[in-house]
Amino acid sequence: MTEAQPVAGVPRRLLWSRAEVVSLRDDTPRVRSLTLAVADWPGHLAGQHVDVRLTAEDGYQAQRSYSIASPPEAPLLELTVETISDGEVSPYLTGELRPGDIFELRGPIGGYFVWSERQPGPLVLIGGGSGVVPLMAMLRHRAIAGPTQPALLVYSSRNWDEIIYRDELERLAAADPSLRIVHTLTRAQPQGWQGFRRRVDKAMLEELGVPALASPNLFICGPTPMVETAAQASVELGIDAARIKTERFGPSGG
Ligand SMILES: Cc1cc2nc3c(=O)[nH]c(=O)nc-3n(C[C@H](O)[C@H](O)[C@H](O)COP(=O)(O)OP(=O)(O)OC[C@H]3O[C@@H](n4cnc5c(N)ncnc54)[C@H](O)[C@@H]3O)c2cc1C
């Protein structure tokens, strides 16, 4: 009998690994990306996440999930974390960690909310706030692999300054005519803003032509109410429910 070979994105055993912070990047006033070197990282698929575990000096442990922002092709792992001001874990990750610091992480986790450029059909990504993180891994992967299908990102943020990866998204869209990025700004808009100014809804997806796409693959990620509204709207617009994948990040609205 031959031993099973490790497959990218499918860990043989979920053991805790040591992640070392290589660099930090501020994406918005409340969001910071961590680039990590993870010992014996087995590889991952775009859309997967990791568990992060912090241990206090008295032994108290806290554990949370974070999506992987980096594409499978990247040599280092990137996480992008939004600071929840009264939160237990996120303020530590965004505010306390420095290059060279080490914490525990395990993964990759999740085989459902994943996308690969080999998957046929147009790609529709709907994200709210930090829900854009796994969608960004998909867009980064798509750009590296060479796009073969059109893609649409509908991205809901509170205001212009809270758009995570704003410049990179602009660069990706400018370099790729088959990628369309549509922002909606729910709380405040810059002067002269012509775009959407409300939460993602059925009329928005209809206006963006989602129902006219042939066999699209939908990925919806963000705060629970946003995910539920967008998924329900997509079903009402006639999208096959089996092609709609959702990931819920947290309880509050964006
Ligand atoms: C599969 C998965 C992937 C995730 N990926 C990411 C990611 O890439 N980036 C990221 O920033 N977060 C991500 N999250 C959310 C993350 O796991 C934590 O829930 C979040 O960082 C808050 O943890 P905390 O310890 O700081 O707050 P907690 O101490 O858990 O909560 C403090 C307060 O904030 C509220 N709260 C908890 N989570 C959220 C939230 N997401 N939004 C608003 N309010 C919240 C709680 O109800 C509570 O009132 C993901 C969650 C899941 C399930």
Tens digits of per-residue pLDDT, 27-44?
A: 999 999 999 999 889 999
Pocket of ligand 1 from Cβ distances under 6 Å: 49, 64-67, 80-82, 84, 86-90, 130, 133, 223, 247, 249-252
Probe target for ligand 1 pocket from 63, 64, 112, 114, with the most ligand atoms within 8 Å of CB:
64
Sequence-ordered list of residues with C-beta below 8 angstroms from that of 132, at least 6 positions apart, any chain: 153, 155, 164, 165, 221, 222
Give Cα 71 distance to the centre of its chain.
11
User: What pLDDT is stored for residue 24 in this prediction?
Assistant: 98
What's the predicted TM-score (pTM) here?
0.94
For the chain, which domains are there? 17-109 (2.40.30.10), 123-248 (3.40.50.80)
Q: What percent of the chain has pLDDT over 70?
A: 93
- Average pLDDT of the residues in 84-95: 96
Q: Is the pLDDT of residue 11 over 80?
A: no
User: What pLDDT is stored for residue 250 in this prediction?
Assistant: 77
- Mean pLDDT lowest among 8-17, 97-106, 160-169, 205-214: 8-17
For atom 51 of ligand 1, the residue with the nearest CA is 249
Q: Is the pLDDT of residue 5 over 60?
A: no
Q: What percent of the chain has pLDDT over 90?
A: 91
Sheet hosting strand 77-82, strand order edge to edge: 61-67, 49-55, 102-109, 17-28, 31-38, 77-82
pLDDT digits (tens, 9 = 90+) for 219-253: 999 999 999 999 999 999 999 999 999 999 976 54
Q: Is the pLDDT of residue 9 over 80?
A: no
- Mean pLDDT lowest among 12-16, 138-142, 240-244: 12-16
